[in-house]
Amino acid sequence: MNRIFKLALCAGVATLVSTAAMAAGMTVGFSQIGSESGWRAAETSVTKQEAEKRGITLKFADAQQKQENQIKAIRGFIAQGVDAILVAPVVATGWEEVLGEAKEAEIPVVLLDRGVEAPQDLYLTSVASDQVKEGRVAGEWLVKTVGDKPCKVVELQGTVGSTPAINRKKGFEEAISGHSNITIARSQTGDFTRAKGKEVMEGFLKAENGGKDICAMYAHNDDMAVGGIQAIKDAGLKPGKDILVVSIDAVPDIFAAMAAGEANATVELTPNMAGPAFDALEAFKKDGKQPEKFIITESKLYTPADNPQGEYEARKGLGY
Amino acid sequence: MRAQSLSHLFSHQVIALAGVLLINWMVFPGFFDVTWKDGRLFGSLIDVINRGAPVAILAIGMTPIIATRGVDLSVGAVMAVAGAVAATFTVAGHPLVVTLAAALAVAIACGLWNGLLIAFLGIQPFVATLVLMVAGRGLAQLITEGSIVTFSDPALIFIGTGSLLGLPMPAVIALLLMLGAHLFVRRTAMGLFIEAIGTNRSAATYTGLRSRSLILAIYAFGGFCAGVAGIIAAADIRGADANNAGLWLELDAILAVVIGGTSLLGGRFSIPLSVLGAIIIQAMNTGILVSGFPPEFNLIVKAGVIMIILILQSARLGEIVAAIRTKNPLGRKTP
């Protein structure tokens, strides 16, 4: 409750501040999907921070997981005559009409985090991560770390059939192909959750000689890795040493595990999609520079050498 | 009469469990290996009772509810709420007793809310508990502010990951709860009351049963069980995950009760058999994990096994088998 109040206050103050700096800054409408995960909450708070940093007035609309709310919000932004619109689309289809309206009003639209199935001229650019690359970066780290030694990997997959699970699996397999010493011994779904990650890892540990045969655990997200780490500890092994732990997302809790020496690497899915979006918008407004159609965010690798305690502190307040 | 029919049913569930365990052993020969590690038992079989405990506890609470011809769809969400309350209380520095009391009190309040809607306002259980199933998760998210609240209080974590006499705590709690609930309904007239309401509520009321208060109490007990399961689930991962804690577990709990032989139309019930049902479900889950099947097959394998179990339990199948045994049921000539 308190936080909501603070946010409201912040928004209020931000509006006041930026009304003063109206001449310098743009007014941007942001239609967010909702708050289905910690990552999304972090994306919202980082977007607000980035806007404030640049003196941009951000009009924020939470769609509560409904496309109709997003379309309503976008029409609202058009009516208010904003300078640009950011959309994190909840689904891929059904955007032609409302994006066409924005185009007619000459308001550039930037897609965040997810793509849409609509003609490319209806939006200025899209900012998203490359999930296959995330898997590849994780795999490349493992290849580099184990060298020529034989290594049996167990994989905690995301929800069966979900795009991130398919892509992160594909990228990892690409990276380890051609290195016959590294094999994926077992692969099961942990549904992207801690509890299931722990349960699945418990099963793997029993099935692989009490865990003695496992050299590394690759999890499609950090939450499952955190669950898996607990299972490894319960089995009397040392996560991070006896079994290497590599995962994706870079949420605060994996940095806490890293600081404790229990995780080895994570690949960041940055919540800062708005930064590159604002950069592209500012350049476009200033001298009409057309950005690339697909801006891919960096998939940065973090290891214990990257000050995990500091990263934990820095990310903790973002709402993950 | 009842003892006889129960022993008949009992054999069904035990055979089903033995069958599932046998298949597990065939796909993973080390399934029955249990070793002693760091002062506790360690092995797949222990995983089955440990992981099965939350659903077993939910099933203990769900059994009397279903026996009175009701259903509680909100138990998964109530788990999330109880976990969220426990986590936020312990993070705020409250002692264990206060934390547990608060989480259980909220869970019981959720159960009372369901009971009020059903017993006093006459809303159908399916609809009444659907409200809390949806709203409860939202409530949990509000409490945790949408993030996973992690904690490190060793006493609270012990409830989820500790062990007593080598057995995992969740299993010990489930066992105690099962014994307590079973003795309570069978050593008092409570079991009879529940069956009377489930068979014919108005008849039961006319004979002088205070069916409203009883139903209210039964749903409160369901809430209490969901609270216990929620605390265990949170303590297990050292954090309250409002989005995922207990997600869809209400369905597993209902299934466990049904496998345990309690009819969704109310009446006869058995709490220990419901717990056995939960163990059968978990034996299947654990078996899939150690088997090395690709995850795409998980749900198909589960559905297949459950179908076989339910078909074996079907009364009609029993009649058909009996008819075939008595020969010539349809007047056909046997060669």
Could you tell me the CATH number of the domain that includes residue A166? 3.40.50.2300
Alpha helices in chain B (DSSP H): 2-27, 44-67, 75-91, 96-115, 125-144, 154-161, 169-187, 190-199, 201-206, 211-237, 249-259, 271-291, 298-313, 315-325
Say yes or no to pLDDT of A32 above 80: yes
pLDDT at A169: 96
**Residue A148 confidence class, pLDDT cut points 50, 70, 90:** very high
Beta strand pairing status for A151-157 and A182-189? parallel
Residue to test with chain A: of B145, B158, B298, most A Cβ within 10 A: B145
- Average pLDDT score over residue span A10-35: 63
Please write the tens of the pLDDT for every residue from B278-299: 999 999 999 999 888 888 888 8
Question: In the prediction, which pLDDT does A22 show?
Answer: 40
In angstroms, the CA B76 to CA B74 distance is 6
A171-175 mean pLDDT: 96
A247 in a domain, yes or no? Answer: yes
Given A223, A239, A268, which residue is the final one in a domain?
Answer: A268
A57-86 pLDDT, tens digit each: 999 999 888 899 999 999 999 999 999 999
Output B73 or B331, whichever has higher pLDDT: B73
Mean pLDDT taken over chain B:
90
Share of chain B above pLDDT 90, in %: 72
Report the C-alpha gap between B58 and B249 in whole angstroms: 8
Whether residues A234 and A277 share a domain: the answer is: no
Tell me, yes or no, whether A308 lies in a domain. Answer: no
Per-residue tokens: A73 = 């919000």
Distance separating alpha carbons of residues A187 and A142, to the nearest angstrom: 16
Q: Which of A142-151, A177-186, A222-231, B144-153 has the lowest mean pLDDT?
A: B144-153
- Maximum Cα–Cα distance for chain B, whole Å? 80
Q: Are residues A142 and A105 in the same domain?
A: no
Identify the residue with better confidence: B321 or B236.
B236
d(Cα B281, Cα B302) in Å, to the nearest integer? 8
Min Cα distance A317 → chain B (Å) is 11
A186 and A249 share one domain: yes
pLDDT at B91 over 90: yes
- Residue B236: list chain A partners with CB under 8 A: 195, 198
Residues A136 and A262 in one domain: yes
pLDDT band at B314; cut points 50, 70, 90: confident
Q: Which of A126, A133, A191 is nearest to A167 (CA)?
A: A133
Mutate to test the interface with A, among B31, B148, B232, B299 (most CBs of A within 10 A): B148
Residue A19 domain flag: yes
Partner-chain contact A194 B241, CB within 8 Å: yes
A261 and A146, same domain (yes or no): yes
Q: Does B12 touch chain A (CB under 8 A)?
A: no
The whole-angstrom distance between residue B146's C-alpha and the CA centroid of its chain comes to 27
Choose the weakest-confidence range: A5-19, A171-185, A263-277, A291-305: A5-19
Q: Which of B38, B47, B296 minimises the CB distance to A203?
A: B47
Q: Which of B12, B48, B14, B53 is nearest to B31 (CA)?
A: B48
- Of the pLDDT bands very low, low, confident and very high (cuts 50, 70, 90), residue A3 is low
Mean pLDDT of chain A: 89
Query: Strand, coil or helix: what is A186?
Result: strand
Parallel, antiparallel or unpaired: strands B35-37 and A125-128: unpaired
Q: Within this chain, do residues A93 and A109 fall inside the same structural domain, yes or no?
A: yes
**Closest to A299 (Cα-Cα) out of A267, A265, A263, A251:** A267
Tally of CB atoms within 10 A around A65: 13
Q: If contacts are CB pairs under 8 Å, which of residues 20-39 in chain B contact chain A?
A: 28, 30, 33, 35, 37-38
> Do the beta carbons of residue B315 and residue B297 sit within 8 Å?
no
Residue A305 lies in a domain: no
How many beta-carbon pairs under 8 angstroms link A with B? 90
Question: In whole angstroms, what is the distance from residue B241 CA to residue B140 CA?
Answer: 9
Structural domain including A86 reads 2-129+270-289
Indicate whether A13 and A99 sit together in one domain.
yes
The answer to whether the CB of A37 falls within 8 A of the CB of B243 is: yes
The residue with tokens 């214990």 is A304
Which residues lie closer than 8 Å to B50 by C-beta, 6 or more apart? B168, B170, B171
- Calculate helix-pair angle for B211-237, A194-207, nearest 10 degrees: 60
Residue A161 is predicted with a pLDDT of: 85
Confidence at residue A34, expressed as pLDDT on a 0 to 100 scale = 79
Instruction: Please indicate whether, in this complex, the C-beta atoms of A206 and B290 are within 8 angstroms of each other.
Output: yes
B281/B56 Cα distance (integer angstroms): 10
Please give the pLDDT value at position A320: 77
| A263 within 8 A of A247, measured Cβ to Cβ | yes
For A3, the closest chain B residue by CA position comes to: B145
Residue A13 has pLDDT above 60, yes or no: no
pLDDT band at B7 (very low <50, low <70, confident <90, very high): low
Q: Are residues A277 and A223 in the same domain?
A: no
In this prediction, residue A5 carries a pLDDT of 53
Within-domain flag for A251: yes
Residue A97: other Cβ atoms inside 10 A: 10
Can you spell out the DSSP letters for B182-243? Answer: HHHHHHSTHHHHHHHHHH-HHHHHHTT--HHHHHHHHHHHHHHHHHHHHHHHHHHHTEE-TT
Report angle CA B165, B169, B173 to the nearest 5 degrees: 110
pLDDT tens digits, B186-217: 999 999 999 999 999 999 999 999 999 999 99
Give a yes or no: residue A178 inside a domain.
yes
Domains and their CATH numbers in chain B: 41-292 (1.10.3470)
Choosing from A239, A268, A297, the residue where a domain stops is A268
Task: List, in sequence order, the alpha helices (H) in A177-302.
Answer: 194-207, 222-234, 252-259, 274-287
Are both A90 and A214 inside the same structural domain?
A: no
Q: What's the confidence (pLDDT) of residue B317?
A: 81
pLDDT of the residue at B66: 96
Residue range B126-151: mean pLDDT, rounded: 91
What is the total count of domains within chain A? Answer: 2
Residue A20 is predicted with a pLDDT of 39
Determine the distance in angstroms separating the CA of A196 from the nearest CA of chain B, rounded to an integer: 10
Please tell me if residue B244 touches chain A, with a CB cutoff of 8 Å: yes
* HSE toward the beta carbon, residue A275, CA cutoff 13 A: 11
A142 and A28: one domain? no
A89 in the same domain as A31: yes
Any domain includes A306 = no
Same domain, A263 and A281: no
Percentage of chain A modeled with pLDDT above 70: 92
Percent of chain B scored above 70 by pLDDT? Answer: 94
Establish if A309 belongs to a structural domain.
no
User: In terms of Cα–Cα distance, which of A259, A266, A247 is closest to A312?
Assistant: A259
Closest Cα of chain A to B48: distance in Å?
Answer: 10
The least confident of A253-257, B302-306, B331-335 is B331-335
Query: Measured between beta carbons, which residues in chain A are less than 8 angstroms from residue B295?
Result: 157, 160, 187-189
Mutant choice from A44, A153, A168, A188 vs B, greatest count of B C-beta within 10 A: A188
Dump pLDDT digits (tens) for B35-57: 888 888 999 999 999 999 999 99
